[in-house]
């Protein structure tokens, strides 16, 4: 009887360990790029890369403000997998269903998803990329964007994004005005 009780106890404990390990594995599958990745900036913004990343680490927020009389677009971008530069190998996100973003913005932002090159050694440069709109929001809002919404040139009939070969995300303000602000609290891949 003692052996049977001991065996049942061992099986129960083993089952609990497997359940906790499974739950742990699932919870860690979410990636928050505000917490985990270096962000890069190009264009007429008050903040530079160092300032953006210092504030991101200290306050958990990415903030970009357009210069006075900005000329050209502002592009804020982040690698899906940290690489130490603004380029790197693509990531396979086949287990991911959507992108969740908590943000506020004074202007329309286009999110471009940059795919990796055919060799898998870096990002594809030039041309247009599958993208979606991030609408104006005066207060922090969370949106969930299915990867299937990312279409070439933002066209509903455009080519879909290849989530098996995703390099980085670009947050682009194509027509910034003085003082335009974008603040991002989280970018979660789930």
Strand-strand pairing, 109-115 and 39-42:
unpaired
Q: How far apart are CA 11 and CA 133, in angstroms?
A: 51
Q: How far apart are CA 82 and CA 53, in angstroms?
A: 13
CB atoms within 10 A of CB 12: 10
Angle at alpha carbon of residue 102, lines to 70 and 105, rounded to 5°? 25
Query: How far, CA to CA in Å, does 3 sit from each of 6, 9, 11, 16?
Result: 5, 10, 12, 20
Contact 59, 85 (CB under 8 A): no
Beta strands in 6-162 (DSSP E): 31-32, 39-42, 62-65, 74-79, 98-105, 109-115, 130-134, 137-146, 151-152
User: What are 161's two structure tokens?
Assistant: 């994004």
Q: How far apart are CA 134 and CA 107, in angstroms?
A: 9
pLDDT digits (tens), the chain, 190 positions: 554 544 444 444 444 333 333 333 333 468 899 999 999 999 999 999 999 999 999 999 999 999 999 999 999 999 999 988 888 899 999 999 999 999 999 999 999 999 988 887 888 776 668 999 999 999 999 999 999 999 998 888 999 998 999 999 999 999 999 999 999 999 999 9
Classified as helix, coil or strand, 169 is strand
Tokens 């329309």: give the residue: 108
Contact 37, 79 (CB under 8 A): yes
């Amino acid at each position: 009887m003692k052996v049977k009780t001991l065996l049942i106890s061992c099986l129960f404990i083993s089952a609990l360990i497997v359940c906790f390990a499974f739950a742990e594995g699932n919870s860690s599958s979410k990636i928050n790029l505000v917490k985990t990745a270096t962000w890069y900036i190009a264009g007429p913004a008050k903040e530079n890369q160092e300032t953006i990343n210092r504030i991101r680490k200290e306050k958990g927020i990415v903030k970009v403000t357009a210069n006075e009389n900005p000329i050209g677009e502002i592009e804020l971008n982040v690698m899906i997998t940290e690489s130490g530069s603004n380029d790197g190998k693509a990531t396979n996100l086949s287990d991911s269903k959507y992108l969740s973003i908590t943000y506020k913005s004074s202007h329309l932002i286009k999110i471009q998803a940059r795919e990796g090159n055919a060799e898998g050694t870096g990002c594809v440069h030039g041309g247009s990329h599958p993208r979606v709109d991030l609408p104006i929001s005066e207060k922090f809002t969370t949106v969930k964007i299915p990867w299937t919404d990312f279409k070439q040139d933002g066209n509903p009939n455009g080519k879909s994004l290849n989530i098996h070969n995703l390099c980085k995300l670009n947050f682009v303000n194509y027509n910034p005005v003085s003082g335009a602000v974008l603040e991002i609290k989280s970018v979660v891949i789930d």
